[in-house]
Structure 1
Amino acid sequence: MSDIAYYPDTPGNDETPCNPDILEEHNRIKKEFAADLIESVPNPCFILNKNRQIVFYNEALAEAVGEKRKDRILGRRPGELLRCCNSRTDLCGDSVACVQCGALRAIQTAMTGKKSEEECTLLANKDGKVKGYTFRVNASPIKITKKQYFIIHLTDLSDIKHKEMMERFFLHDLLNAVNGITNTGTLIKIDATKKEQKELASMIIDRAQYMANEINAHRLFISAEARQLELHNEPVEVSGLIESICAFYNNSLLAKDKNISITSNVDELKLITDKRILHRIIENLVKNAFEASPENGVVKVQAFERDNKALFKVTNQGAIPMTVAHQIFRKSFSTKGTGRGLGTYSVKLFTENYLRGKVWFDSSNEDGTNFYVELPLSPAGEELAANPCPRNRGT
């Protein structure tokens, strides 16, 4: 927001001194209201009167719009000050396009006596150049000297939204490229006449599929973090799902580098859940178990029914120090260096926020480390099919 400046040719934004009535309101509020309180707010914050005109503001707003002269801030409506393109021909809030404005909706809700939070996308114009912004707008009614006003907080989400959009586009394009590699490797393998060529093509396919798996896992995590992940429940046979994960990691570099083996002990267990999410939960626990295992260690995966719930248990022979144990599920915490630490956090996020389950662990030098995930056998109102569901060989 630092490059937004006052826009003098906007309707209502002439360069004459501000209205004496507005200045009087400003001075009265400054006298009666705790000015230090609004200044303590790090984000742009301002107070509107019933006409949606700014009558008080903090320094953060002045810095954001690049304007120090209060006569060019007081009396303006928010869109006029922020140089919204719709305020070039109409007063802020009066154009047809303003009906869709999140900031206007938030302010109008506050005018009914309720607090409100909305997201506002704004197209600004500076020196003939257009730039888009996204704000989170918080609006609340407030009484000062027995008169009704409305206090507004702005949080600039532009960089966050831009990053999210670019990340989605990047992952989408990257996945398309990886799928292209898989398809090419498959064609090479079909046409190969020599054993060495077939083995090389198989390696290409395996690595491309691994990359695709990681990309899809990251996309799922991003959606979950943004609270945009939609559940797709279906019958899942647990033995097939765990079998596919174990087979994958038995052939992975994690296993070969440390000569780690993986075993599973799974009862005939079926549940209704989102197979993609359950796969990521168990996969993350198994991956963490491999990374935490000593050389020549064993990772064990178990699944069984207990108290009408599905219980998953992933064990490795390493122990978690007490200094680390209380930080295990924290986001971005990792003992493996910077840029890590989403594994156990994502397990907790997926399990407790989406699958209505619980996750916990115990660890000791004698028994190693055990991670547990407990899930309902079916969401409320859904019943398991009487016939066994088909074996699941992965996602």
Structure 2
Amino acid sequence: MQEMGGAAGREGLRQSAAGARRPFISRVGGAIVQHKRPTRREARLVARAQTHFASWERASDADVVVVADSVAHDPTVRAMLDIVEGDLLILDDHRQVLAANQRFLDRIGCTDVNEIIGLRPGDCVNCVHAREAPSGCGTGRACRNCGAVLAIVASQRSAWVTSGECLMALGEDGCDAAEFRVRSAPLTIAGRPLTAFVLQDISAEKRRAVLERVFLHDLANSVGSVLGWGELLAIDDVGSHDAARQIVALGQRMAREIRGHAALVAAENGELVVTPEPLRPRAVLSEVVAGVRGVRGGDVTIAVADGADDAPFEADRELLARVLGNMLLNALEASHPGDVVRVWYEAGDDGPMFLVNNPGVVSERVRHQIFTRSFTTKGRGRGLGTYGMKLLGERYLGGRVGFRSEPGQGTTFWIALGKRSDAADGSP
């Protein structure tokens, strides 16, 4: 069976270990995107005896070949690979892949299991944190909060079946998102302690939860406000001019929420159309701030500082406003009464950089997952703001999105955009 490797594939395994990095297609959690997956040799050479969590050690190529061959001929493993629902990996005690079922290979766009034997799960799916870690998958600071690594390590240490959930940021830019329910169980083959690791894709389930708890919840609040103003107008309890102004503002907010959700769905499916136009930084900030004023009822001050350079640039107005609006809303939600949220822009080498600062500090646990889809500190079913910022800001606006958070300086989210516009007048 191809998906288990075997003696016939030993030479291919060696060639795979020595060869160049092969491109693969991510079909997880959104648009189909080509990435680069490391070979086993590259993954092993990265290891520098450093780790922030799980063991950095890896088995030698020779040991991996011998154990993978033994696993390939085991009838129990063969049966498991055929019948287990979900994506199944057989791992050694160093968390390295020895076998994979066809479902997992199809998911990562791999035609030959020998390409991933000896890698770790995060290497196989091109997890962004596996590349950032000092010794690969499982050894980074973010890995301490990874449900996959936690389940595998707990199962290996306790010899018990363990389970959890894993939110993965995939791809070269980390904008592909995947959410899995994971389960890890001890397994002994030919006297060797191994691990059976199963992933079940729950991305669609998480998306439904977000739709129900975030989009519909926010939309229902806006509809309720419209009805409230309509009722006051009906009983002549307010002036018609004031009521009309509030109803129009609420209607515009609902329209933005609908367009914003539709844009995020289209972006994840690779169907979002970008429409650049000449813009000026000062006008962009004014428009965004005007759209969110009053969210905190005036107990948090929004301070806007004019940049020295208001040179025109080109970007999609709606998408940029969505990214900056999410940054500002997150800053307001993270603030306390009396806080000041600062908003400004700076002139970059190729275009403007927009920045939003609040006095709060992001914890170590949160900062490593902050751009992961569905991760949130706001309660179950929340979590699209920061993920949407990065997806729209980097993949569609062509910029860079990031943040810094330090005691005494607070937390600053930023987006740096690309080339300036040559238009003489970029005023909206």
Conservation of the 8 A alpha-carbon contact between 2:300 and 2:335: no
Q: 1:249 to 1:262 in 2, by over 3 A?
A: farther
Distance (whole Å) between structure 1 residues aligned to residue 270 and residue 329 of structure 2? 25
C-alpha distance in 2 between matches for 1:241 and 1:355: 15
Contact 1:300 1:316 in 2 (8 A): yes
The alignment status of 1:316 with 2:358, answered yes or no, reads: yes
Matched, 1:268 2:305: no
Q: Alpha-carbon deviation of 1:260?
A: 2.8
SS in structure 1 at match of 2:341: strand
- 1:388 paired residue number: 425
Closer, same or farther: CA 31–325 of 1 in aligned 2, 3 Å: closer
Q: Does 1:220 align with 2:263?
A: yes
- 301, 304, 317: which one aligns with 2:346: 304
Of the two structures, which has the highest relative contact order with CA contacts closer than 8 Å and spacing of 6 or more? 2
- Displacement of 1:36 in angstroms is 2.2
Flag the 1:388–1:332 CA change in 2: closer, same or farther, 3 A.
Answer: same
User: Corresponding residue for 2:287?
Assistant: 244
Where 1:299 maps in the other structure, the secondary structure is strand
Letter aligned with residue 196 of structure 1: G
How much has 1:232 moved relative to structure 2? Answer: 1.3
Partner-residue secondary structure (3-state), 2:337: coil
1:280 paired residue among 312, 322, 327: 322
The reply to whether residue 295 of structure 1 matches residue 337 of structure 2 is yes
Cα deviation per residue 1:212-266 (whole Å; 9 max; x = unaligned)? 111111111111112111211221222112101112222x23242x343332323
1:347 corresponds to: 389
8 Å contact kept, 1:289–1:316: yes
Matched-pair contact (CA < 8 Å) for 1:259–1:296: yes
Which residue in the other structure is 2:65 paired with?
Answer: none
Offset at residue 356 of structure 1 (A): 2.0
Q: What corresponds to 1:362 in structure 2?
A: 404
Distance 1:32 1:288 in 2: 53
- CA deviations over 1:7-63 (Å, ceiling 9, x no partner): xxxxxxxxxxxxxxxxxxxxxxx999984264255269xxxxxxxxxxxxx9x9xxx
Quote the offset at 1:358 in angstroms. 1.3
CA pair 325-34 structure 1, distance change in 2 beyond 3 A: closer
Confirm or deny: 8 A CA contact 1:293 1:317 kept in the other structure.
yes
Q: Which runs of 4+ in 1 moved over 3 A?
A: 30-35
Please give the alpha-carbon distance, in whole angstroms, between the structure 2 residues aligned to 1:294 and 1:340: 20
Contact 1:328–1:344 at 8 Å: present in 2 too? yes
C-alpha displacement of 1:311:
1.1
Q: Is the 8 A contact 1:261 1:296 kept in 2?
A: no
* Structure 2 residue identity aligned to 1:315: N
When residues 386 and 32 of structure 1 are mapped into structure 2, their CA distance, relative to the original with a 3 A threshold, is same
Give, in whole Å, the separation in 2 of the partners of 1:285 and 1:347.
8
- Percentage of matched positions with identical amino acids: 29
Rounded to whole Å, the distance in 2 between the matches of 1:366 and 1:227 is: 40
Q: How far off its partner does 1:301 sit?
A: 1.3
Structure 1 pair 259–309 and aligned structure 2 pair: CA distance change class (3 A):
closer
Structure 1: give runs of 5+ residues left out of the alignment.
Answer: 1-29, 45-57, 61-109, 111-156, 379-383
Residue 201 of structure 1 corresponds to 244
Taking a change above 3 Å as real, the CA distance of residues 333 and 198 of structure 1, as seen in their structure-2 partners, is same
What amino acid maps onto 2:272 in structure 1?
Answer: L
CA contact (8 A) 1:313 1:373 kept: yes
Q: Is the 8 A contact 1:272 1:377 kept in 2?
A: yes
Distance 1:34 1:340, change over 3 A: closer
Query: In the aligned structure 1, how far is the partner of 2:340 from the partner of 2:77?
Result: 63
Q: State the distance in 2 between where 1:330 and 1:372 align.
A: 17
Q: Name the residue aligned to 2:372.
A: 330
Amino acid at match of 2:361: A
Assess, with a 3 A threshold, how the Cα gap between structure 1 residues 296 and 321 changes in structure 2: closer, same or farther.
same
Tell me if 1:230 matches 2:273.
yes
Conserved 8 A contact 1:303-1:311: yes
Letter of the 1:261 counterpart: I
In 2 relative to 1, CA 294–32 (structure 1 residues): closer, same or farther, beyond 3 Å? closer
AA matched with 2:359: Q
Q: 1:372 to 1:37 in 2, by over 3 A?
A: same
TM-score (norm. length: structure 1)? 0.50
Q: 1:371 to 1:255 in 2, by over 3 A?
A: farther
Unaligned runs of 5+ residues in structure 2 are: 1-72, 88-100, 104-110, 112-200
Q: 2:247 corresponds to which letter in structure 1?
A: I
User: Structure 2 vs 1, CA of residues 198 and 311 (structure 1 numbering), >3 Å: closer, same or farther?
Assistant: same
Q: What TM-score does the superposition give when structure 2 sets the normalisation length?
A: 0.47
3-state SS in 1 of match to 2:306: strand
Distance 1:195 1:34 in 2: 73
Map of 2:295 onto structure 1: 253
Distance between the aligned counterparts of 2:272 and 2:84, measured in 1? 33
Given that 1:260 and 1:299 are in contact with CA atoms closer than 8 Å, whether structure 2 keeps it comes out as: yes
Question: Counterpart amino acid of 2:275?
Answer: H
Equivalences for 1:64-79 in 2 at 5 Å?
Answer: none
Change (3 A) 1:41 1:236: farther
Report the residue type matching 1:227 in the other structure.
Answer: G
Instruction: In structure 2, give the amino acid aligned to 1:265.
Output: D
Find the counterpart in structure 2 of residue 381 from structure 1.
Answer: none
